Amino acid sequence: MNESFGSNSADTAEDDTLAFLYGPSSEVAPRLLGCIFERTLDNGIILSGKIVETEAYDQTDTASHSYKGKTPRTEVMFGPPGHLYVYFTYGMHYCCNVVTGPVGYGAAVLIRAIEPLQGEKDMELRRTRHGRELTNGPAKVCQAFAINSQLNGHDLSAAPLKLIAPADRDTANIVQTTRIGISTAKDIPWRFYYRNNPYVSKPSN
DNA sequence: AGCGGGATTTTCT
DNA sequence: GAAAATCCCGCTT
């Protein structure tokens, strides 16, 4: 039935809360705002934070890595929803995405900013920054949360990186605007963020 | 506060 | 060989 989530689990409650990931990335992106990333490091330290900025990408969109079809790099984007797509760029940065549905359709949501909730001290060690500079950008998020290509394809229903959708997710004050850092399809309004949240990478547009 | 350039290597043409 | 879903530093205003 539902092989992408909790294949070994009895906690179907959590699986149900992630069912929204099966939709189109442009609908999933705003719904990921307010969801929690929970990262367990090898040394047992737990980091967590609330997603406050996202961008949708899909295979009909020239700005998407999946636009030109499945390649070794983008294979995960065409796989099951609820997994992590991690890519390496500019010779030094990792960025991570939550894969959306349906299976066989290349789409994902870039996690652009997170508001830290737990483990800020440990994030500071990797970032050499503090406060909003910890996680106000996609590559900063990956550095703070120690996310690299080893986590590419990871199932987000399980440790060491879990996506958790709280029952009381805040749906108010969401801004929808155009995406950042792309050279084509600049007019598509697939960027979403919480208005006035200090961790948003770049307010307004 | 804002702009411009450099870093650095994977990925696909 | 060129571009890249970025970040950081240094310089100017």
Q: Over the stretch A33-69, which tens digit does the pLDDT of each residue have?
A: 999 999 999 999 999 999 999 999 999 999 999 999 9
pLDDT for res A9: 43
Write the pLDDT tens digit of every residue in A4-26. 444 444 444 455 899 999 999 99
A205 touches strand B (CB under 7 A): no
Write the pLDDT tens digit of every residue in A92-115. 999 999 999 999 999 999 999 999
pLDDT for res A4: 44
pLDDT for res A182: 96
pLDDT for res A8: 43
pLDDT band at A198 (very low <50, low <70, confident <90, very high): very high
Q: How far is the CA of A24 from the C1' of B6 (A)?
A: 37
pLDDT for res A12: 47
- % of chain A surpassing 70 pLDDT: 92
pLDDT for res A93: 98
A201 touches strand C (CB under 7 A): yes
The DSSP secondary-structure symbol of A165 reads: -
Q: Which nucleotide is nearest to A71 (CA to C1')?
A: B12
**Residue A139: strand, helix, or coil:** helix
- The answer on pLDDT for A76 being more than 80 is yes
pLDDT band at A164 (very low <50, low <70, confident <90, very high): very high
**A39 phi/psi in degrees, rounded to 5:** -110, 125
- Residues lying close to strand B (Cβ under 7 A), chosen from 79-108 of chain A, are 88, 90-92
pLDDT band at A205 (very low <50, low <70, confident <90, very high): low
| Alpha carbon distance A176, A54 (integer Å) | 10
Partner residues linked to A97 by β-bridges: A85, A110
Partner residues linked to A175 by β-bridges: A193
The count of other CB atoms within 10 Å of the CB of residue A189 is: 13
> Distances in Å between the alpha carbon of A141 and those of A13, A66, A97, A161?
27, 22, 11, 13
Q: What global pTM score does this model have?
A: 0.93
